[in-house]
Amino acid sequence: MIDTIIFDFDGTLINTNDVIIAAWQHTYRKYLNCEKPVEHITKCFGEPLLITMAREFPGVEPEESAEVYRKHQRDRADELVKLFPGTVEMLKALKEKGFKIGIVTSRTGESTDFYLNKFGIADYFDGVVSCDDTDKHKPDPEPLLLGLKKLGAEKDSTLMIGDSPFDMKCANNAGVRTVLVDWRIAGSEEQLSRCRVDYFIKEPMELLEIAEKA
């Protein structure tokens, strides 16, 4: 019986896809004087930012390039960031049914809180694990295991909802069942084929039915 729902953040609850792509292109223009194919960027969705920065800009301190990227996101957040349709209704329904709800994200705690408060959904969540909370990151199971601990949840009674191979692999490695969202743009089919996906949803409210029957 499922009693706990743990969400990824970007691309799952909140549509940050456009602002993330714009921020990456801004950073590529600054340091490499070019832009990259969108498919190159989306393959990295879900990976901790400093790891991607170190790989993409090896001659630049990761914290420096990350701040360029983050500032561009902040500057364009009002214009480009939106809640996915049906997110609030889904969270409200899960809360009313008594599910514990958490977030496990590779985003920083500060920026996660910024968006949760911006969209007025912070109170729906019983616990948040950000990249600031662990030394290891998705697809390592440590962030999700910490999320389980924070929520007082068991693996067998939890679902992990995400949009990327990093989310699915993290849950696979932690022994938690997975739900992949159909509105994703993260990762490639080849990357996802290496993950175990237990359920798919096309609309947020479909999660309620899965959670009640799983």
The tens digit of pLDDT for each residue in 28-50 reads 999 999 999 999 999 888 788 99
Q: Taking the complete model, does pTM exceed 0.95, yes or no?
A: no
Q: Look over the chain and give the mean of its residue pLDDT values, rounded to a whole number.
A: 94
Q: Which pLDDT tens digit goes with each residue over 123-174?
A: 999 999 999 999 999 999 999 999 999 999 999 999 999 999 999 999 999 9
Neighbours of 123 (CB within 10 A): 10
Which of the residues are catalytic? 8
Contact of 161 with 12, CB cutoff 8 Å: yes
Residue 164 has, within 13 A of its CA and on its CB side, a CA count of 26
CATH architecture observed for domain 4-15+82-213: 3-Layer(aba) Sandwich (3.40)
Structure tokens at 5: 């729902």
pLDDT of residue 199: 98
Contact of 196 with 179, CB cutoff 8 Å: no
Q: Which fold has domain 17-80?
A: DNA polymerase; domain 1 (1.10.150)
17-80 shares the fold of 4-15+82-213: no
- Domain coordinates in residue numbering, the chain: 4-15+82-213, 17-80
Structure tokens at 179: 């739900």
pLDDT of residue 46: 79
pLDDT of residue 26: 98
Contact of 176 with 144, CB cutoff 8 Å: yes
pLDDT of 189 strictly over 80: no
Q: Which pLDDT tens digit goes with each residue over 80-102?
A: 999 999 999 999 999 999 999 99
pLDDT of residue 115: 92
Confidence band for 187, pLDDT divided at 50, 70 and 90: low
